[in-house]
């Protein structure tokens, strides 16, 4: 009885996105549509360890490091040391076995690295280099000299910089926000100007947000080798593109830093909150103070800004996890945005950056009144977006990431609940889903109601077997992280069926096949409490029927079937995982089995 009830509970939960809807959530792989998901290996860090798992959740390899790991094009694992994305000053590259092949530590006074980093190939240097985000201290005197409002206190002020070092750890380029500022309250200062006319600079006196410690809180960055540009994202709702190629001189770091500090280093493009440069409306409470609007602000608390890589669908566009914080919406919600920065107001690709306010906005109504959202201005440069129908299904207040996959699907990591999933582009159907089982209290098969980030993963990535880090490595699947056999749903488990009054009762149990795995044949048994029309069918992971084992009216009693690993034509099927479905009175029970001849 208990087993049948649990099965029905999980199926109900899976029919919608459940990670915030249920108090007790099974962890590890929850769903896999093998025919439509991008088959590969998922990499993520949690609780100081890095895990590489297959689609079923079997562990392929682990490393004793786990902050914000990713594979490099050279086949190494690159990560920060220490386990805290918000505070890091040391990084390591590890090989497959965990040996350190490169490391770097930022030891300069006044520099505080945090959140993100990237290993790049610098085309002008013709060598690989390393870039990272670091807060830089600013004295009160510097703030006042630059034109910060004298009414405020600037003790402990900081602004983010992007630092580049070569393989020997020498600083060869640096770009700093503090060198690209404007203000309109102190005419005597060299930074004075009309903020609206200077979108390439950041306003020193943004309303309600005076310069302070970790002022911009930049949390992600990326590098585009073809364009030789850098993009950096601020948690406050904007990302900025700056020129690396035209501000870098090989062998002349001082000259490069000077160029980067000049007008050549001003923003080439910015997206997210035009009110910050007086070209849009800020979020605000409406006259009826029980309602609010995001104004022209598009993002809040966003993470993982990136260019979609060459050769992938949407290549050259930006992809970002928009956490949806600070948008003054009545109901919070996270989104994935794909942005084409070259589109003008008519939707034409101009081939050059277009200021988002110039491109304009569409006024979009909420797709469902139960979301309780006001209509909003949506940038015409947003060419694709994803949000779950239930606004809380993958909402994350912090962290998180996204990735475009070769088959056009988009991979998502929602940090708060350690929730990874893959979504198809056209019908935005979920084709794979996983819940991180690594928690503050150990590895859990079931995640109970906990505060956010209990089983957090800052970011996750999907890699194919031919990636340089995986090629020629032993990818033999081990146990899952929890050590339990994978128990996940497949498309046949959530197929809609017609209502019927003849429900399967708790006594109508289908036992797990035995043996499992099997090489020659396996037995499938089930019990019926009452007479029913019964079918038992074997399917492959794509949902295609392999063999019908039974399709007849059955009286109450015990039944035992045998499957010998052949299809309906009598041909042996390939090794792999299959699932068998018992249907009785339009109700279904499904289980999985492994055939290995």
Please state the rounded mean pLDDT for residues 177-191: 97
CB atoms under 10 Å from CB of 94, counted, come to: 20
- At residue 91, φ and ψ (nearest 5 deg) are -135, 155
Instruction: Kindly give, in sequence order, each residue whose CB lies less than 8 Å from that of residue 301, ignoring residues fewer than 6 positions away.
Output: 235, 237, 322, 323, 324, 325, 326, 397, 398
Which of 228-232, 273-277, 309-313, 425-429 bottoms out in mean pLDDT, i.e. has the lowest? 425-429
Q: Residue 235 has which token pair?
A: 């948690």
Q: How far apart are CA 459 and CA 70, in angstroms?
A: 9
Q: Predicted confidence band at 491 (pLDDT cuts at 50, 70, 90)?
A: confident
- At residue 107, φ and ψ (nearest 5 deg) are -115, 5
- What was the pLDDT predicted at 10? 33
Q: How far lies 345's CA from each of 108, 267, 269, 382, in Å?
A: 46, 21, 16, 12
SS3 content of the chain, % helix, strand, coil (to 5): 10, 40, 50
Instruction: Kindly give, in sequence order, each residue whose CB lies less than 8 Å from that of residue 66, ignoring residues fewer than 6 positions away.
Output: 45, 46, 47, 48, 49, 50, 51, 79, 83
CB atoms under 10 Å from CB of 588, counted, come to: 18
Q: Which residue, chain included where needed, has tokens 């690989």?
A: 128
Q: Residue 155 has which token pair?
A: 């003790």
Identify which has the larger pLDDT, 375 or 587: 375
Which of helix, strand or coil describes residue 285? Answer: strand
Which sign, positive or negative, has the C-alpha torsion 205, 208, 214, 218?
Answer: negative
Instruction: Kindly give, in sequence order, each residue whose CB lies less than 8 Å from that of residue 58, ignoring residues fewer than 6 positions away.
Output: 477, 478, 479, 480, 486
- What was the pLDDT predicted at 562? 93
Q: How far lies 203's CA from each of 93, 355, 371, in Å?
A: 38, 17, 34
Interval 236-274: pLDDT, tens: 999 999 999 999 999 999 999 999 999 999 999 999 999
Please state the rounded mean pLDDT for residues 438-465: 95
Instruction: Kindly give, in sequence order, each residue whose CB lies less than 8 Å from that of residue 542, ignoring residues fewer than 6 positions away.
Output: 34, 35, 491
- What was the pLDDT predicted at 16? 36
Which of 194-198, 260-264, 381-385, 583-587 bottoms out in mean pLDDT, i.e. has the lowest? 583-587
Q: Residue 60 has which token pair?
A: 């392929």
**Residue 590: pLDDT over 80:** no
Which of helix, strand or coil describes residue 63? Answer: strand
CATH of domain 492-595: 2.60.40.1930
Domain boundaries, the chain: 103-461, 492-595
CB atoms under 10 Å from CB of 226, counted, come to: 10
Which of 39-43, 328-332, 480-484 bottoms out in mean pLDDT, i.e. has the lowest? 328-332
The candidate with the shortest Cα–Cα distance to 225, out of 128, 116, 319, is 128
Please state the rounded mean pLDDT for residues 443-461: 95
- At residue 446, φ and ψ (nearest 5 deg) are -125, 130
Q: Predicted confidence band at 530 (pLDDT cuts at 50, 70, 90)?
A: confident
Average pLDDT, the chain: 91
Q: Predicted confidence band at 428 (pLDDT cuts at 50, 70, 90)?
A: confident
The candidate with the shortest Cα–Cα distance to 19, out of 483, 455, 371, 319, is 455
Q: What is the DSSP letter of 456?
A: -
Asked if residue 476 lies in contact with residue 52, where contact means CB atoms within 8 angstroms, the answer is no
Q: How far apart are CA 403 and CA 337, in angstroms?
A: 11
Q: How far apart are CA 523 and CA 517, in angstroms?
A: 11
Which of helix, strand or coil describes residue 264? Answer: helix
Q: Where are the alpha helices (DSSP H) in 349-467?
A: 356-359
Q: How far lies 27's CA from each of 110, 305, 419, in Å?
A: 42, 28, 9
Give the bridge partners for 269, in sequence order: 241
Q: What angle do CA 427, 432, 18 make, to 5 degrees?
A: 85
Q: How far apart are CA 424 and CA 411, in angstroms?
A: 9
Q: How far lies 188's CA from each of 191, 194, 287, in Å?
A: 9, 13, 39
Q: Predicted confidence band at 422 (pLDDT cuts at 50, 70, 90)?
A: very high
**Residue 477: pLDDT over 60:** yes
**Residue 15: pLDDT over 80:** no
The candidate with the shortest Cα–Cα distance to 504, out of 554, 543, 549, is 554
SS3 per residue for 95-118: CCCCCEEEEEECCCCCEEEEEEEE
Q: How far apart are CA 104 and CA 111, in angstroms?
A: 14
- What was the pLDDT predicted at 542? 66
The candidate with the shortest Cα–Cα distance to 54, out of 516, 432, 402, is 432
- What was the pLDDT predicted at 533? 84
pTM: 0.83
Instruction: Kindly give, in sequence order, each residue whose CB lies less than 8 Å from that of residue 346, ignoring residues fewer than 6 positions away.
Output: none
Please state the rounded mean pLDDT for residues 410-431: 94
Q: Predicted confidence band at 421 (pLDDT cuts at 50, 70, 90)?
A: very high
């Amino acid at each position: 009885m208990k087993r049948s009830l649990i099965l029905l509970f999980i199926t109900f939960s899976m029919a919608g996105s459940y990670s915030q809807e249920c108090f007790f959530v099974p962890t590890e792989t929850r769903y896999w549509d093998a025919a439509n998901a991008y088959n590969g290996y998922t990499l993520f860090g949690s609780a100081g360890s890095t895990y590489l798992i297959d689609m079923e959740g079997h562990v392929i390899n682990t490393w004793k490091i786990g902050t914000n790991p990713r594979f490099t094009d050279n086949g190494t694992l690159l990560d920060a040391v220490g386990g805290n994305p918000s505070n890091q000053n040391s990084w390591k590259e590890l090989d497959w076995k965990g040996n350190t092949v490169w490391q770097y530590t930022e030891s300069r006074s006044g520099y505080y690295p945090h959140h993100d980093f990237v290993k790049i190939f610098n085309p002008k240097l013709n060598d690989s280099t390393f870039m990272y985000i670091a807060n830089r201290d600013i004295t009160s005197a510097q703030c006042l000299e630059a034109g910060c409002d004298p009414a405020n206190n600037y003790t402990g002020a900081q602004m983010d910089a992007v630092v580049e070092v070569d393989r020997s750890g020498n600083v060869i380029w640096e770009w700093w926000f503090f060198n690209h500022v404007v203000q309109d309250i102190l005419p005597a200062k060299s930074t004075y100007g009309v903020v609206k006319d200077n979108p390439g600079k950041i306003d020193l006196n943004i309303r309600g947000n005076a310069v302070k410690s970790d002022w911009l809180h930049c949390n992600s960055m990326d590098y585009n080798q073809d364009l030789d540009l850098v993009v950096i994202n601020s948690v406050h709702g904007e990302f900025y593109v700056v020129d690396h190629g035209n501000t870098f001189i090989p062998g002349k770091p001082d000259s490069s830093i000077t160029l980067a500090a000049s007008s050549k280093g001003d923003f080439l493009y910015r997206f997210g909150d035009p009110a910050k440069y007086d070209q849009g409306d800020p979020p605000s409470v409406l006259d009826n103070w029980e309602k609010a609007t995001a104004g022209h602000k598009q993002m809040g608390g966003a993470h993982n800004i990136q260019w979609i890589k060459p050769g992938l669908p949407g290549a050259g566009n930006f992809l970002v996890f928009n956490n949806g914080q600070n948008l003054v919406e009545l109901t919070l919600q996270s989104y994935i945005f794909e942005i084409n920065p070259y589109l003008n107001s008519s939707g034409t690709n101009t081939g050059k950056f277009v200021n988002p306010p110039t491109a304009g906005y569409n006024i979009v109504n909420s797709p469902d009144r139960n979301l309780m959202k006001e209509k909003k201005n949506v940038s015409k440069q947003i060419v694709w977006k994803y949000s779950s129908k239930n606004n809380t299904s993958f909402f994350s207040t912090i962290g998180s990431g996204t990735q475009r996959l070769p088959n056009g699907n988009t991979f998502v990591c929602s940090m708060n609940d350690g929730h990874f999933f893959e979504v198809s582009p056209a019908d935005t159907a979920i084709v794979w889903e996983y819940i991180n089982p690594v928690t503050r209290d150990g590895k859990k098969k079931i995640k109970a109601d906990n505060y956010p980030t209990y089983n957090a993963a800052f970011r996750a990535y999907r890699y194919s077997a031919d990636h340089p880090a995986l090629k020629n490595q032993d990818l033999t699947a081990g146990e899952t992280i929890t050590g339990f056999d994978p128990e996940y749903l497949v498309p046949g488990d959530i197929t809609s069926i017609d209502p019927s009054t003849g429900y399967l009762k708790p006594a109508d149990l289908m036992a797990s096949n035995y043996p499992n795995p099997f090489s020659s044949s396996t037995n499938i048994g089930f019990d019926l409490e009452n007479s029913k029309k019964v079918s038992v069918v074997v399917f492959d992971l794509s949902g295609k029927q392999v063999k019908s084992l039974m399709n007849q009216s059955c009286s109450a009693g015990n039944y035992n079937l045998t499957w010998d690993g052949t299809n309906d034509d009598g041909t042996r099927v390939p090794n792999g995982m299959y699932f068998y479905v018992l249907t009785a009175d339009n109700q279904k029970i499904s289980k999985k089995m492994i055939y290995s001849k």
